[in-house]
Amino acid sequence: MIIEDSIYSFVDVMPSEQGTNRPDDFLLYTSVVSEGVGEALPTLRDYKSSTRRERKQVCQRFCTALDEDRMWIQFRTIACRVSDARLNGRKVIAQLLGLAEETITDDGFIVIDGNKIRGLRAMIFANYAVALAMLSIQLAELQKVYECKKAKFILDLLPGDHLSGNHRPALKLLEFISASSPFLRWCWEESIKRYNARGMGVTYADSSDRFRFDVSDWVAQAAHACVNQSTYRRNVKREGERRRKEVAGIIFAIRRQHERKGVDASKLIVHLPQLTSVE
C-alpha cells in the first residue's frame, strides 16, 4: 500500500501471535504490500467473518483478479517451526539481558524494560522481532523501487494492546527488543544500508486501514494452508482438503503473476531455522 511518499506493509501472523501448542507447526509471519485491491475486490471481508460459501467465492475472485492483473500483490512469509521460535527467542532474550539460556523457561518470569513478563511470551515476541528484521530487507527494497521517503510495517493488534488510550505494552516490548538486541539492530541496519532506506519502523493501523488488513489476512491464511496443511484441514473439518486447496490457490496465483512480470518468485515463503548464534 502506497500513500503519497510512504509505503506500508501489512503484517499478519498465523496461527497466532501468541504461538501454538503444536511444536511441529510453523509460525508464519506474512508481510503484504498491495495495489489496486480496493477496485478489484471492493466487498472483501476478512477470512474469519466469511462463510464457507463466501470463502470459496473470494478465493475464485482473488485468483481471477490476480491472473487478469487487476491488482498487484507482493508478499513474503517467514516460516519458523514453533519449537525453533522458542529457541530463537530464548537466545535473543538471553543475549539482551545477559542471562544463561537455561534460566529462561516457559512458565518463569523475567523483567524486560521494567516490565515483568512470562518467559514463553517473551520468547515468542523476540522471535517475532527476528522475523520483522528479516522482512525488513524486502520492505527496504520496495521503498527504493517505489522511491518512497518512509516505509512502515503495520501490525495487527498484539495480544493485550488496545488502540484506545494508547495502551500498547506489547508493541513497546517488541520495539524495545528490536532496538536493544545488537543482533536485531544489526539486521535492520544492514537492510537500511543495502537499499539506502529511510524512515523505517513498526506501528499499528487505524480504522481507515482496516480493508488492507483484510487483504493480508487472506494471503496469510493462504500461506497457512500451504505450509501447515494438516492443521488447516483439521481446523476446517468438513471437506478439509478441498477447502485447503481453494485458499492455498491464492499463493499460486500470486506466484503466476510474479513470473509473468519477471519478478523473482522463489522466495515468497522463506524458512527461518533455529539460530545457532545471535552474536
Q: What percent of the chain has pLDDT over 70?
A: 96
Would the CA dihedral through 82, 256, 222, 132 be positive or negative? positive
Distance CA 205, CA 163 (A): 9
Q: How many CB atoms lie within 10 A of CB 99?
A: 13
Q: Please write the tens of the pLDDT for every residue from 148-198.
A: 888 999 998 888 888 877 788 889 999 999 999 999 999 999 998 998 888
Q: Please write the tens of the pLDDT for every residue from 93-135.
A: 999 999 999 999 989 999 988 888 899 989 999 999 999 999 9
Distance CA 241, CA 205 (A): 33
Stretch 13-41: mean pLDDT = 87
Cα separation values, 272 from 69, 80, 81, 276, Å: 31, 5, 8, 12
Stretch 19-43: mean pLDDT = 87
DSSP state of 91: H
Q: And the C-alpha cell for 209? A: 486501514
The SS3 of residue 31 is strand
